[in-house]
Amino acid sequence: MKTMLVILLSAMLTDNFVLSKFMGICPFLGVSKKLDSAAGMGIAVTFVMICATLVTYPIHHGILVPNGLEYFDTVVFILVIALFVQLVENFLKKCVPSLYKSLGVYLPLITTNCAVLGVTVLNIDNSYSFVQSIVNALGAGLYKIPKDVESVK
């Protein structure tokens, strides 16, 4: 439990993905003009991060490692991320069209947001367990909402 808390807090604060690792700067500068689009973007990225972690972790440990294909990580991960971004896009288009409009081109660009690929690769590099990975993804995502909101003020 204590490790979980440490991972969560360090991903949110001390190792903040935007401000200390410089990942995901483009949408950070691009959509943080308005409060609701900033929060919407933060939530969308967090969702994609968690889903991507949920899928990439079993793929890495269940399929790639037993077959000695670890170096395929990058290709497989990016395809999984692209899939989930498409999912979020379709969902927002149907259910929250106003948010969909205000996010504009930055929504498909979540695919190339380095924070998302970064978090999935870091989970593997730091050899976190499955649950730790999810907590890390959650923390890394949560940073984004308050930070985006702050930069609006």
Partner 1 sequence: MAENKTPLTKELTKGILRENPTLVMLLGMCPTLAVTTQAMNGIGMGLATTFVLLGSNIVISALRKVIPDKVRIPAFIVIIASFVILIGFLLEGFVPSLYDSLGIYLTLITVNCIIFGRAEMFASKNGVVASICDAIGMGLGFTIALFLMGSIREIIGSGKWMGLEIPVLSSNPMLLFIMPAGGFFTLGMIIAAVNKLSNKKPPQELGCKGCPNAEACGKAGDCQ
Interacting residues toward partner 1 by CB under 8 A: 19-26, 29, 33, 71-75, 78-79, 82, 111-114, 117-118, 121-122, 125
∠ Cα 19 20 26 (to 5°): 45
How many angstroms separate the CA atoms of 121 and 75, rounded?
A: 11
Between 2 and 117, whose beta carbon lies closer to partner 1? 117
Between 5 and 26, whose beta carbon lies closer to partner 1? 26
In the complex, minimum distance from the CB of residue 39 to partner 1, in angstroms, rounded to a whole number:
17
Between 5 and 35, whose beta carbon lies closer to partner 1? 35
* Contact status, residue 107 vs residue 85, Cβ threshold 8 Å: yes
Between 5 and 19, whose beta carbon lies closer to partner 1? 19
In the complex, minimum distance from the CB of residue 56 to partner 1, in angstroms, rounded to a whole number:
13
In the complex, minimum distance from the CB of residue 29 to partner 1, in angstroms, rounded to a whole number:
8
- CA 2, distance to chain mean position in Å, is 23
In the complex, minimum distance from the CB of residue 152 to partner 1, in angstroms, rounded to a whole number:
12
Q: What Rg value do the Cα atoms of the chain yield, rounded? A: 15
How many angstroms separate the CA atoms of 107 and 70, rounded?
A: 29
Between 5 and 125, whose beta carbon lies closer to partner 1? 125
How many helices and strands, by DSSP H and E, does the chain display? 8, 0
In the complex, minimum distance from the CB of residue 89 to partner 1, in angstroms, rounded to a whole number:
12
State residue 127 phi and psi, 5-degree precision.
Answer: 40, 55
